[in-house]
């Protein structure tokens, strides 16, 4: 084998020395560069994976928050609609009550005015009857004096 290497111009001792040097260099690079670099890449990959998972969880929470907020808005709209409906019902009831009360007052005022008018008419009739009776007595007295 030495003859074969010699034929190609390869020095066996130098080749073995280079192989040993390459092995030492490979071991040193692996220990000082490759392993720390791989640990750093693994740590970075874990951070990125954690970031992706956090983003997915945040996205899910956002979707659930949107759903919850939509439900709350719908519930608030329903509540507001009920409040408005109740207020309208109360306003309608109050309106009917006030109209009825106003009609009753108007009827009472009308009845009172009619009663006062009848009383005034009756009083005027009594007074005119008294005046007629007095005038009749005066006329009769005058007629008797003339005779």
Check residue 142 and give its pLDDT: 85
Measured CA to CA, the distance from residue 23 to residue 15 in angstroms comes to 12
Is the pTM here over 0.75, yes or no? no
pLDDT greater than 90 at residue 11: no
11's CB contacts (< 8 A; 6+ apart) are 5
- Go through 92-115 and write b for each residue having 16 or more CB atoms within 10 A of its CB, e for each that does not: eeeeeeeeeeeeeeeeeeeeeeee
87-143 tens-digit pLDDT: 999 999 999 999 999 999 999 999 999 999 999 999 999 999 888 988 888 888 888
Mean pLDDT of the region 61-84: 94
Tokens of 121: 């008419």
If one counts the domains in the chain, the total is 1
Q: Write out the residue range of the structural domain in which residue 7 sits.
A: 2-146
12, 2 contact by CB (below 8 A): yes
């Amino acid at each position: 084998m030495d003859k074969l290497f010699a034929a190609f111009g390869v020095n066996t001792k130098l080749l073995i020395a280079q192989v040993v040097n390459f092995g030492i260099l490979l071991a040193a690079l692996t220990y000082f560069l490759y392993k720390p670099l791989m640990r750093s890449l693994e740590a970075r990959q874990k951070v990125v994976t954690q970031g992706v998972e956090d983003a997915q969880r945040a996205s899910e929470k956002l979707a659930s928050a949107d759903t919850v907020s939509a439900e709350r808005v719908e519930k608030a709209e329903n509540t507001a609609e009920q409040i408005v409906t109740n207020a309208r019902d109360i306003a309608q009831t109050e309106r009917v009550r006030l109209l009825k009360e106003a009609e009753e007052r108007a009827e009472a005022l009308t009845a009172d005015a009619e009663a006062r008018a009848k009383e005034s008419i009756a009083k005027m009739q009594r007074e005119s009857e008294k005046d007629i009776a007095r005038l009749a007595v005066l006329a009769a007295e005058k007629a008797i004096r003339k005779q």
